[in-house]
Chain A
Amino acid sequence: MNRRTFLKVLGSGVPVAAFSCRDRREAERLAAGESVNPSELAWGKAPCRYCGTGCGVEVGVKDGRVMAVRGDEKSPVNRGLLCVKGYHLPAMLYGADRLLHPQRRLPDGSLERISWDQALALVADKFAHTLATGGPGEVAVYGSGQWTVFDGYAAVKWVKGGMRSNNIDPNARLCMASAVMGFMTQFGSDEPMGCYDDFEAGDDFVLWGNNMAEMHPVLFSRILERKRQKPDVRIVDVATRRTPSSQYADLYVEIRPNTDLALANAVLHLLVANGAVDRAFVRDNVVFMRGVEDLEEIGYGCYGEQAERYVFKDRGRPSSFAELEAFLADYAPARAAEICGVPEEQIRALASLYGDRGRGTVSLWCMGVNQHVRGTWMNNLITDLHLLTGKIGRPGANPFSLTGQPSACGTVREVGTLANRLPADMLVTRPEHRAKAEEIWGLEPGTIPAQPGYHAVDMFRALARGDVKTMWIQTTNPWVSLPNLHRFERRPGDGRFIVVSDIYPTPTTDVADLILPSAAWVEREGVFGNSERRSQQWEKLVEPPGEAREDAWQIIEVARRMGMGHLFPWPEDDWHEPMWEEYRRFTLGTGKDLASYAELRAARGLRWPVVDGKETPYRYAAGFDPYVKKAKGVHFYKAKAYGERAAFWLRPYQPAAEVPDEEYPFWLTTGRVLEHWHTGSMTRRVGQLHRAVPAAYAELNRADAAALGIGDGDRVRLRSRRGSLELEARVDGRGQPPRGTVFVPFFDESVRINELTLDAMDNISKEPDYKKCAVRVERA
């Protein structure tokens, strides 16, 4: 924009924002000269409460209240920088409507304050009663990637080792289960081999369906800094809509929804055709596998019988490079270009980038790939690109999956708070894994059941049917975040009992029979694990408000009241460290070795495996990973099933579960915005963040909007086969969808866009696809 147009814009009299009274009072106090020197505050370290980046913050406390945070310059994750959510963390604790006391719902729907003793006894009684009358299949715990390691560990031990049920699953099933299954199927062990150091070592960064500038802003700023220092660094944005990340991309590849599968296969096709395969690497380190591809058998988890229970299981069989060549014949660039709706040159550009041996390539992905009806396949294909070219297991060349929640890795994936898992990658279906858990937990052999429980969506379907009767939900807001929400609406007197632990009222506490007030973030001690395998410990820095207590304490106290106190044999005032050390035993010697609690206390986080006090930046890589005994190269020592090699999976393109048609002509895709985190229950209570994005909106392409007679700010109605709602249209906003697509963020509890989304799921991970369903758009 040149100076003249700039001045014209100014001339249009843009109003300046208003500020609230409270801010003004604050400012007047300041003007009156009341000031505090930052050195009068006590500063403690903690990871940020929000995203999986895991930025380090220093928290400033005075008179028992958090007064400020600053980016921790000593944290290797963020080196002093934060994003706007992180800087505004302190206010998140002080919303006026914090939950302060346990409350029980009365028959007339109102809430009655009760004591902790009454509340805990009630929870224990309900769970014990359901166990006695219906068995372990009728109880369930729905947890969170925002749980600390302690909360998740207490929950998994209580559910699996105490109640002898596997009905525990987390909201992380909705956000990174496909990445878990990607890593498990290819390396026999979850979580990435690379780390954030790749941002300073890579040459090319390919974002697969990942709006990193908004979702992982601090990591994106590390890429931008790399590009500033090394101008030939390239950023490629493969996406279904233009976002702030696209503005920084050297190549923007706009694909049709779900066709990333075809695009990745076309790139593989070209890598083979162009002789870009690293044959020696493949010969020494890779096996080829192929799974079930029959669309009829696989389905989408939302039609017919699958709409009640989705249990498809993939069956892998050995394949070969020769079979791969034949398989890829279907993905010649011309055909793929047609499927994806992109110019062939872009596919060739991607192939030459992945095929360039002189350059390090880092692939990054998050929800676009994971929340996908073939999300595990897409995870496999991205890693396949790296396996075929040998760009894996060295600085600056890795496939790297990002996580959305602060401890999706540390708690859910590592502790194993999933229906089919136990700590440290172990599975309930394997007798030797159950035996190891029973041994560490001091339980009778045979205590842990072998049958996996319900995955998240099926758990709520079972609740709606009445097959689950008693459920405890902690640290998450499913009545905003589940897909196809109308399915799960509660009816009064439905005979279920739902306990919800949270810090603020939400649509989920609105349907709870019992609400428990939780301590948040630095109001308690904790450990989170971020996307790069870094475990970060913090101490309790302030008292929680009212009677709020930490989630793990709530679980332990209920377990005690159910006669399961033996599971938590530690002193009531000092159980974090011994609990951590017990949990740590699962990991030692497995390649997932966690640091001791003392080491964690002293460090700005440590990346596992931690052996002899030393962290591991690059897993499977000689010279970095203490489990690799070779002098150079990689060793995929966790992939026992494939002879300690990585598995390259052949995975085809298949369409989305629901595609636009005459009646519902638009794609609906959902997601987040930079300012709000997940369902907004925390960030919306921060004035600056709420005022920045006060409500959800429907982002439309300008041509579509014009054709429908809709202008920026007009009210529009969206309808899908499942629901309909009204909201504001946004045209030429920060994101620009292509024609035929509408984007709506999901943070706004008064515009629950998930009433419209479809509960179609990934066939392997059972993670729902929030990015694709069909809607109608009308003027309201």
Chain B
Amino acid sequence: MAKTPAVVRAERRLYDGAPPVIPHQPLGAACIACHDGDGLAVPDLGYAPPMPHAATAGMSALSHCQQCHVFQRTGERFRDNSFAGLRQDLRRGRRLYGGAPPVMPHPVFMRENCTACHAGPAAREEIRTSHPERRNCRQCHLEERLSGGFQRP
């Protein structure tokens, strides 16, 4: 059975929110040679999505990517481990009413570049935007930072 993109995504990280490991071996190039702009289709290897956090304060093309993303050089474990992490929440973002734009169901920090995951060849079907040409996503989609409603102080 072919793996779904959600499974592939989960395989590459310890839990939802952990940085993915690098799913290919070192290629000798700087990471941003491919993982920048709109990403790059790399023959024989696949599509390299752009990084979603080029706009995060403290992260830039200058950054040391391997501070967080590491190559995997073996498939083995040193010892077994029973950690079971947070899984990706696949529920949809809430809408005020049927035609309203959904709020974002996840925090935006480190994922300011929405199109990195929601558009382009790497975007999973279930989260792909129908309107990639409208680049200012946060004009309509808000980040939900609190549960509960407004209360007067």
Contact = CB atoms under 8 A, between A and B. Distances in A.
Interface of A: 1, 5-7, 9-11, 13-20, 22-24, 26-31, 33-39, 41, 60, 62, 65, 67-70, 73, 79-84, 87-88, 90-91, 93-97, 213, 217-218, 220-222, 224-225, 227-228, 244, 248, 504, 674-675, 684-694
Interface of B: 3-4, 6-8, 10-11, 14-19, 21-30, 33, 42-45, 56-60, 62-64, 66-91, 106-107, 109-110, 147
Given A38-B89, A91-B83, A692-B21, A67 B15 contact: yes
Contacts of A36: 86-87, 89
Contacts of A29: 87
B70 A82 contact: no
A691 B13 CA distance: 13
B22 to A, nearest CB: 8
A629 to B, nearest CB: 37
B44 A88 contact: no
A227 B62 contact: yes
A132 B18 CA distance: 53
B45 A10 contact: yes
B17 to A, nearest CB: 5
A14 B72 CA distance: 12
A688 B11 contact: no
Contact of A6 (B22, B27, B72, B75): B27
B83 A93 contact: yes
A80 B109 CA distance: 8
A224 B71 contact: no
Contacts of B78: 684-685, 690, 694
B19 to A, nearest CB: 5
A46 to B, nearest CB: 16
A684 B42 CA distance: 33
Contacts of B18: 68, 87-88, 688
Contacts of B59: 81, 221, 225
A690 B14 CA distance: 13
B72 A70 contact: no
Nearest to B34: A6
A684 B68 contact: no
Contacts of A20: 75-77
A62 B57 CA distance: 30
Nearest to A34: B87
A397 B57 CA distance: 23
A743 B72 CA distance: 21
Nearest to A684: B78
B73 A65 contact: no
B79 A96 contact: yes
B17 A686 contact: no
Nearest to A685: B79
Most A CB within 10 A of own CB, among B42, B44, B64, B70: B64
A37 B69 contact: no
B60 A228 contact: yes
B67 to A, nearest CB: 4
Residue of B3, B30, B80, B81 most packed against chain A (CB within 10 A): B81
Given A18-B72, A31-B7, 11 more contacts: A9-B28, A27-B6, A30-B10, A62-B86, A68-B15, A79-B58, A91-B83, A244-B66, A685-B79, A692-B21, A692-B73
A10 B27 contact: yes
B10 A11 contact: no
A31 B21 CA distance: 19
A87 B18 CA distance: 6
Given A91-B83, A224-B62, A689 B29 contact: no
Contacts of B15: 67-68, 90
Nearest to B21: A688
Contacts of A80: 56, 109-110
Given A73-B109, A84-B67, A90 B75 contact: no
B67 A221 contact: yes
Given A7-B43, A73-B109, A224 B60 contact: yes
Contacts of B24: 14, 16-17
B10 A60 contact: no
A91 B14 contact: yes
Given A30-B88, A685-B78, A220 B72 contact: no
Contacts of A81: 56, 58-59
B25 to A, nearest CB: 4
A146 to B, nearest CB: 20
5 contacts: A15-B25, A22-B81, A35-B87, A70-B17, A684-B79
Contacts of B85: 26, 67-68, 90-91
Contacts of B42: 10
Nearest to A244: B64
The 4 closest A-B pairs by CB, nearest first: A18-B75, A17-B72, A96-B80, A692-B70
Given A34-B87, A222-B58, A694-B78, A83 B67 contact: yes
A38 B78 CA distance: 29
B57 A35 contact: no
Nearest to A690: B78
A80 B67 CA distance: 14
Contacts of B89: 35-38
Nearest to A213: B64
**Chain A CB within 10 Å, residue with most, of B14, B30, B70, B90:** B14
B70 to A, nearest CB: 4
Contacts of A15: 25
A37 B70 contact: no
A11 B44 contact: yes
B73 A17 contact: yes
B58 to A, nearest CB: 5
A23 B23 CA distance: 14
Contacts of A13: 44
Given A7-B43, A685-B78, A221 B88 contact: no
B131 to A, nearest CB: 26
B124 to A, nearest CB: 12
A91 B84 CA distance: 8
B62 A35 contact: no
Contact of A68 (B16, B60, B64, B110): B16
B23 A17 contact: yes
A18 B76 CA distance: 9
Contacts of B25: 14-17
A68 B86 contact: yes
A221 B81 contact: no
B16 A84 contact: no
A221 B63 CA distance: 6
B62 A228 contact: yes
Contacts of A6: 27-29, 33
Contact of A693 (B43, B73, B86, B147): B73
A673 to B, nearest CB: 10
Nearest to A15: B25
Nearest to B60: A228
A563 to B, nearest CB: 40
Contacts of B70: 84, 674-675, 688-689, 692-693
